Amino acid sequence: METQRPLRRRRSRRRARKKQVAWLLVGGVVIAGIVWTYILMERRRQETLFVEQTAAREAEKATKAVLPLTATKNLVVFIGNGYGTSTTTATRLYAAGEDGTLAIDRFPETALVRTYSRNAQSADTAAAMSAYMTGLKVDNEVLSQTADTRPYDEGNRPNAAHSETSCPAVGNGKPAPTLLELAKASGRAVGIVTTARVTQAVTAASYAHLCQRDGENAIAAQLVPGGHEANAKLGEGVDVLFGGGWENFLPKDDPRGSVRNDTRDLFAEMRAKGYSIIGRHAELVATTVPLGKVLGLFARSRMKYDMERAGSTEPSIADMTTRAIELLQRNTNGYLLIVEGGRIGEAIGASQLHQALADAAAFDVAIDRTLAKVRELDPDLRNTTILVTADHDQTLMLNGDAAVTGRATEGRAGVLGAFRSYADPSTVAFDASGRPFTTLVTALGRRIRGSRAQAPAVSDLIVNDKDYRYEATIDAAANANLDSYGGSDVMLSAIGANAGQFHGTIDNTQVFALLRTAMGL
């Protein structure tokens, strides 16, 4: 018996230790479960908080977008013709270098804008600007009409009789109200600045209605207050118009140049309606400010590229824009000014990329000077919104892996030059056929016929010439139905009152709604 007691005690102690271990294991599992449950609950709480905070921010943005606290008194809309994201990047490299900035880089609000039209992946200028001005998707070539309008003249012909195209009186859509017409009706002053003709599609879509954009004589007639074919919605007329294109205003056979087929002298008609007519840079900057409306046409057709303007009588886009603001801001109700860098996309289409980037850089200078001019009277931009975007993209591209070049100067081609790889920037790179190529190219344009082995020489000196024509991937030079429009989204940048409305990815038709809401129209 004595020998069995220690044995029973040892067995008892072993059972006790096993129970302790079991309880420890159970306790550990329970504690681990509690900890893990807490972790999951905390993670779920954080996720819920994140979702709620995100939703609150989005709701706040949406509320601001729909109900701005104060309607914008003044609005300046900059449209870079063909000023897509690749062109903006190339302009920054050209004008400021890789580490430099453009004026729009300092704008706090940005959005991406989808640009397709009712019948095309790539909107042309007419359809794109009509979306901005009316909030409607229309066919390419239609100017600020309802969506049932087709771009056919009264003879049911597309692209017929340029400058003299007219539309059926009935049965082909009807005019759609534009942002400029609404601003005019609100008592604001309205103005237009462009380096193209004032009757071309970007600016025309703000004040004219036509089934086919090429009817520029009919478009010009819509500007004459009370005249034949006038746009009555403009009231006493657009207050300030600066740009090119007097050929659409002068009577047939006028020695200064005309494309009209009638004897109407729209200069005389507009002068009779209270307009001062000017046509030289010196007249634009004269110290005597006209008291009434001003029509300034500085070229027979489009104005000169910025690189060719020196020595001419034409003002810069920056000079026209700041002068327009000085004239418009006399209206105490505010103003709407539409400014177009009108030849950027045209130069890209012609494969003249040096001209394109120089015009784009001048466009950016106009934006910068506008900010300074507006802040003279509105330092904090409490009453002014400035918006910069493009009508559509162009097919300009930058080849990757290029070495850093810095900004372009008279003696340095920069991004304009022959391609040099970052791996060996000391020498020009060659393609598979042993020929040099450039950093900048276009998708559609002028292409070398045959093998690139027979391509002409490419060097920084050659391509830095303002008239050099860059290569394209697809030869579209002989096809009138192919243009260099791009279908990619374009950037929109905004600063000032109600600028916070512009964010995310939006459709070009939404830009109209946001601007209309911002101005309280």
pLDDT interval class at 144 (50, 70, 90): very high
Residue 476 confidence (pLDDT): 73
pLDDT at site 231: 97
Cα distances (angstroms) measured from residue 212 to each of 9, 115, 148, 151, 512: 108, 19, 13, 5, 21
| Domain ranges across the chain | 1-49, 73-395+484-518
CATH architecture assigned to 73-395+484-518: 3-Layer(aba) Sandwich (3.40)
Lowest mean pLDDT among 8-17, 40-49, 82-91, 181-190: 40-49
Q: Which two tokens stand for residue 87?
A: 């062109």
Band (35; pLDDT cuts 50, 70, 90): low
Rounded CA separation 275/273 (Å):
6
* pLDDT at residue 455, rounded to an integer: 78
pLDDT of 131 reads 98
Is 480's pLDDT higher than 60?
no
* pLDDT band at 9; cut points 50, 70, 90: low
How far is the CA of 300 from the CAs of 3, 249, 390, in angstroms?
127, 10, 25
Instruction: Check residues 140 and 60 and name the one with the higher pLDDT.
Output: 140
175, β-bridge pairs: 145
Query: Is residue 66's pLDDT more than 50?
Result: no
Q: Please state, in angstroms and rounded to a whole number, the distance separating the CA atoms of residues 212 and 157.
A: 10
Return the percent helix, strand and coil in the chain, to nearest 5: 35, 15, 45
What average pLDDT does the chain have? 88
pTM: 0.85
Mean pLDDT for 381-398 is 96
What pLDDT is recorded for position 421? 95
Classify the phi-psi angles of 376: left when phi > 0, otherwise alpha if psi is within -120 to 50, otherwise beta: alpha
